[in-house]
Amino acid sequence: MRDKRSDSQKFARLRSAPENFISDEFVSEVRQHGWDDSRRSFIRKSLMAAGAALAGGGAARAATQNQPDQMITKPRPWSTSLGNPVAFHPYGQPSKYEVNLQRRQSPGLTAVPQASVAFSPLQGMFGIITANGLHFERHHQGWVDVDPTEHRFMINGMVKNPKVYTMDDLMRMPSVSRMHFIECGANTAMEWGNVAVPTVQYTHGMLSCCEFTGVPLKYLLQDCGADFKNAQFILAEGNDGSSETRTISMARAMDDVIVAWGMNGEMLRPENGYPLRLVVPGVQGVSWVKWLRRIEVGDKPWNAKDETLGYVDHMPDGTLRQYTSIQECKSVITSPSGGQALLSTGFYNITGLAWSGRGKIKKVDISVDGGKNWKTATLNTPILDKCLTRFNFPWSWDGSPAILQSRAVDETGYVQPTKSQLVAVRGTRSIYHNNAIQSWQVAESGEVFNVHVE
């Protein structure tokens, strides 16, 4: 018995969500911030209907192994003709068949796309490294392509010798390369409410991981003679129209912060801060100031715009919690995940990502029954400090409904909370720092949905 869908549909369905998964209804819903269960049900029903149509009633699923005739009887053009020359793309590009795997904007989130988000397609990604073309974006006034020969980086404030560095000055200095995750503090923000955003691209896609190269900030602070006795904080300032500024403690600045130009072996991309950005391992993305032009050394936090008007936590008692920078331990199953469809019963590799702003990942447990029973996943190596860790877990699907969850533990012993555990402390008015366990429901049809369970 063969699957009635075409191979093309199957391949696309397993790896990535369809292009227009975010409906207009959903967009206006997000704009209103009027989240309720009846709206969610509407979205889920639409998806179920679409899924059932694609799956031919949900019944026609079967394995496709052992059909050697397919290969022997039909020689393909690529094996019988001369291919393309080398350096056809002097800078290489993905296959034309991968065009649906790309960053996507959720147009409902902000008024203009210059102050918005483009999410990474985690559902179709592998390992821990994010290919630079798929790195998530979040801008406050749009991205700029800064001329590196004109770019200057200044250190001033409580320093003996204020200095201005060119890119050439910086790139002569001692450098390090480190793999670290970067996550926007607002990642998974929609899940604070009762809306269940349909795909992992939109629930967790403000998350990427690269090998960053640059000069440790401590060397530069030493070079300028920072007043280490009295200074307590630094301010990092970006060179775009929003002049984004963030306060960072001197203790952190002297630890593992990097003034970086490299990203996965090449220069930073313009939308990720070319030619210079701050890398602040373990800390939310807003502090990784892009197009970095200045660091000021001081003795008080600056209470900048993005430390007061935004990037604060609305607590249940009505207070605002400020300067919660660290991204706590978190994990998510990236496949199977919302919007994907299981093609048949049988074996699947459940795979996903775990990370912690406080160090290394120690353990990831998996549940396929909504949290009743847990088994330990295999962690892919190397397991690095403040870096994504890929986990894999073998699962045989028997065709009955299932709820898939992952729960990470970091080296400090911190255990990723359930949503209700998190809400008990934080309430539901927050935007930032949602690190709750994510649940994906596998329906009998094989379709996978985002659900909120206890």
Instruction: Kindly identify the residues of this chain, within the stretch 233-272, that bind its own copies according to CB under 8 A.
Output: 239-241, 243, 261-271
93 binds its own copies (CB under 8 A): yes
Radius of gyration of the CA atoms of the chain, in A: 23
Nearer to its own copies, 196 or 387 (CB): 387
Shortest spacing between CB 72 and its own copies, in angstroms: 9
Looking from the CA of 167 toward its CB, the CA atoms found within 13 Å total 17
Nearer to its own copies, 29 or 137 (CB): 137
Q: Which of 123, 187, 201, 213 binds its own copies (CB under 8 A)?
A: 213
Beta-bridge partners for 418 = none
Shortest spacing between CB 138 and its own copies, in angstroms: 7
Pairing of strands 320-321, 330-335: unpaired
Residues in CB range of 337: below 8 A, 6 or more apart = 122, 123, 199, 200, 440, 448
Residues in CB range of 334: below 8 A, 6 or more apart = 122, 123, 125, 200, 204, 351, 352, 353
Q: Which of residues 144-183 bind its own copies (CB under 8 A)?
A: 144-150, 152, 154, 161-169, 171-177, 179
| Residue ranges in 297-452 assigned as alpha helix (H) | 419-426
Q: Which of 8, 20, 38, 400 binds its own copies (CB under 8 A)?
A: 8
Q: Which of residues 62-81 bind its own copies (CB under 8 A)?
A: 63-68, 70-71, 76, 78-81
φ, ψ dihedrals at 10, nearest 5°: -60, -50
Per DSSP (E only), the strands in 206-345 are 207-216, 233-238, 245-249, 258-263, 266-267, 277-279, 292-298, 313-314, 320-321, 330-335
Q: Quick one: which of 375, 331, 372 has its CA closest to 354? A: 331
Hey, is 155 helix, strand or coil? Answer: strand
In the stretch 20-59, what mask flags binding to its own copies with x, by CB under 8 A? ----------------------------------------
Shortest spacing between CB 96 and its own copies, in angstroms: 6
Number of residues that bind its own copies (CB under 8 A): 127
Nearer to its own copies, 96 or 372 (CB): 96
Q: Which of residues 327-346 bind its own copies (CB under 8 A)?
A: 343, 346
90 binds its own copies (CB under 8 A): yes
Mark the segment that binds its own copies (CB under 8 A) among 10-18, 186-194, 248-256, 313-321: 10-18
Nearer to its own copies, 38 or 70 (CB): 70
In the stretch 411-440, what mask flags binding to its own copies with x, by CB under 8 A? ------------------------------
**Is the peptide bond between 75 and the residue preceding it cis, with omega within 30 degrees of 0?**
no
Shortest spacing between CB 268 and its own copies, in angstroms: 8
